[in-house]
Amino acid sequence: MIKTCQNFINGKWTPPSSGKYYEIRNPADKDEIIGQFPLSEIQDVDQAVLAASKAFLAWSKLLPMERAAYVEKFTTLLDEKTNYLGECLCREQGKPLVEAIGEPSRGVKECKYVIGEATRLQGLSLPSERQGVTNTVVREPVGVIAAITPWNFPMLTPLRKTIPALIAGCTVVLKPSYDTPWCSVLLLELFEKAGFPAGTVNLIMGRGSQIGDALSGNPLVRGITFTGSTIIGRQINKTAAANFAKVQLEMGGKNPAIVWDYANITGAAKSIAVAAFANAGQRCTAVSRVLVKRSQAEELEKALIAIIKEYKVGPGLEKENTIGPVVNKKAGDSIMEYIAKAREQGATIAIGGNQLKGGVYDKGYYIESTLVTNVTPDMAVAREEIFGPVLTVQKVDSFDEALEVANSSEYGLASCIFTDTQANIYRFMKESQSGMVHINHGSVSESFMPFGGIKMSGLGPFSIGATNKDFFMNTKVIYNQYI
C-alpha cells in the first residue's frame, strides 16, 4: 500500500488545502513508489507561518538549556535510527548506502555541537563612559525562520537549518525540495516524538515555484535560510529584501583543485576523485575542475582514470556499488548535454561520458563517472555548475595562471590545492576567492567548522558551527544606569 504523507502544521499532520498529492519514485528503480506528498498552496504556507509565529512567543522565552533538552531528546532518537534513515534516504535520493547513512550520522554530530551552543549564546560587556552604568550587548532570537532546502542532502540540510534555529529560540517552517520530501517527513516524526511544543517546527511540501515566494515573502518570516541554486537564491534575496528579512544563502559552486609541484600524484588523484564523484558529483562543494601543471598532467590523468575504472555504478542499496543514479531524468539529461557540448567544443572524453543502459540501468538514470581532458577555460564544461559525475582537467603553465583560472569563476564556494611548496600554499590561502580552502586534501567539510561561500555561492553568515548564531540571532544593546 502506498503511503500518503501530510504537512506538519501546529503539531498536527495536516492535509493540503488543495487536497492534491504527487508521487515520488526511487531514482534507482522507477517502479518503486516511495509515497505521495502534499501539493501545498499559499494558504497552507500562511497557516504554517502563523503557527510558528504564535509558538515563537513561548519558545523564545524558554531558557536556552530548556530548548537544548528537547534537542537532546531528538538527537538521541536520530542517533538510534541512523541505519533506517540512511536506507530511506538511499531509496528517495539515490546515493550509495554508506553515504546515505553518513547523512543522519553527521547530523547527530552537528546536533551535539549545536546543543552545546545553548551555553555559548553569549554577548558582550563593555565599559561605560559614565559612572554607575553598565553597557551590555545581548543576542535575541530572530523570530520565524523559513528553512528552504535542496534534494542533494535531503536529511543533513534540513537538520543543519532547523536545529541551530531552535536552539537560538527561533521557530521554523521547513520547506524541503519537491524531489525529496520523505526525508523531512521522517525528521518531523522524530521532532513530534521528542515532544517539541506545537508550532515550533512545521513542515510544508510542494513545488517551490508555487509556494516559495509566499513563504520567503511572508512578513512574519524574519529570516530565510536557503540552500539551493544561485538562480533561486537571487530570487529569494529580492523577495526577502522587501520585508528586510535576514538571509543565509548557500548556493552553487564550480570548485577548482590546483595540482602544482606535488610529489604524491596518486594521493592527489584519490582525494580529488572522492571530492568529485561522491553522491554522483551532486554536491555543491564537489571538485569539478582540476588545474594541473602541464608536466604533471599525464600522470594525474592516468591516476584518475585508474580510480574511475574501479567504480561500480548501480543501485545505492546494493553494498558493492560506489556510484548511484542521478536524482532524476531532468538532471541526467542536463548532465549528458554538458558532456555532448564538451565533445563539440573540442575537449576529449578520457573515460566515461555515457548514460548506462540495459538491465537494472533502465530502471533509473545512471551516468558513467566522466573525465574530460584537453579543456580550455572558455568551455561551458569548465565554467558552469554541472552537478553530476563530470570532472575536467585543464593544463596550466604557471602558478599565476592556475590561480587566475581558479578565481575566474563567478562562484566562490570551495577550493583545493595539492602542492609541496609552502610559498604556493601561502599564496593560495591568501588569494583563493572561495569561502572554504582545502590544502592537500579534497573539499570535505567537518561538523564544527563554519560552511559557506562568497561571490555567487553565498550570502550571510556561514552555517555549521559558531557562525550560525550570527544568522539566527539579532543584536540588542542595553544601557543600564544604576545610580
Quick one: which of 67, 161, 175, 438 contacts ligand NAD (CB under 6 A)?
Answer: 175
d(CA 216, CA 212): 6
From 5, 88, 284, 416, active-site residue: 284
The 3-state DSSP class for residue 121 equals coil
Q: How far apart are the first and last CA of the chain?
A: 72
Minimum CB separation of residue 217 from ligand NAD in Å reads 8
Does 110 sit near ligand NAD (CB under 6 A)? Answer: no
Q: Can you list the alpha helix ranges (DSSP code H) found in 248-293?
A: 265-277
Quick one: which of 16, 150, 256, 316 contacts ligand NAD (CB under 6 A)?
Answer: 150
Stretch that binds ligand NAD, among 123-131, 247-255, 335-343, 355-363 (CB under 6 A): 247-255
* Strand residue runs (E) in 89-220: 124-126, 133-141, 144-148, 171-175, 201-203
Is 368 designated active site?
Answer: no
d(CA 40, CA 405): 44
d(CA 249, CA 255): 17
Q: Is 332 left (phi over 0), alpha (psi -120 to 50) or beta?
A: alpha
Is 183 designated active site?
Answer: no
Does 177 sit near ligand NAD (CB under 6 A)? Answer: yes
Quick one: which of 28, 147, 148, 313 contacts ligand NAD (CB under 6 A)?
Answer: 148
193 or 207, CB closer to ligand NAD? 207
Minimum CB separation of residue 186 from ligand NAD in Å reads 17
Does 433 sit near ligand NAD (CB under 6 A)? Answer: no
Quick one: which of 216, 373, 432, 434 contacts ligand NAD (CB under 6 A)?
Answer: 216
Site size for ligand NAD, by CB under 6 A? 31
Minimum CB separation of residue 409 from ligand NAD in Å reads 13
Site track 443-482 with ligand NAD (rule: CB under 6 A), x = hit = ----------x---x-------------------------
Contact 415, 436 (CB under 8 A): yes
Contact 233, 253 (CB under 8 A): no
Cβ partners under 8 Å of residue 387, min gap 6:
152, 252, 281, 282, 286, 331, 334, 335
Strand 246-250 versus strand 458-459 pairing type: antiparallel
Cβ partners under 8 Å of residue 3, min gap 6:
35, 36
Does 208 sit near ligand NAD (CB under 6 A)? Answer: yes
Quick one: which of 251, 269, 278, 371 contacts ligand NAD (CB under 6 A)?
Answer: 251
Q: Which of residues 371-400 bind ligand NAD (CB under 6 A)?
A: 385, 387
Handedness of CA 444, 438, 306, 372 (dihedral sign): positive
d(CA 131, CA 133): 6
Minimum CB separation of residue 180 from ligand NAD in Å reads 8
Q: Which of residues 269-328 bind ligand NAD (CB under 6 A)?
A: 284
Quick one: which of 9, 236, 275, 339 contacts ligand NAD (CB under 6 A)?
Answer: 236
d(CA 127, CA 134): 7
Quick one: which of 235, 376, 440, 474 contacts ligand NAD (CB under 6 A)?
Answer: 235
d(CA 444, CA 438): 8
Does 209 sit near ligand NAD (CB under 6 A)? Answer: yes
From 103, 117, 250, 301, active-site residue: 250
d(CA 175, CA 472): 17
d(CA 476, CA 138): 5
Stretch that binds ligand NAD, among 4-12, 40-48, 133-141, 205-213 (CB under 6 A): 205-213
Q: What are the catalytic residues? A: 250, 284
Q: In the complex, which residues of this chain contact ligand NAD (CB under 6 A)?
A: 148-153, 175-178, 208-209, 212-213, 216, 227-229, 232, 235-236, 250-253, 284, 385, 387, 413, 453, 457
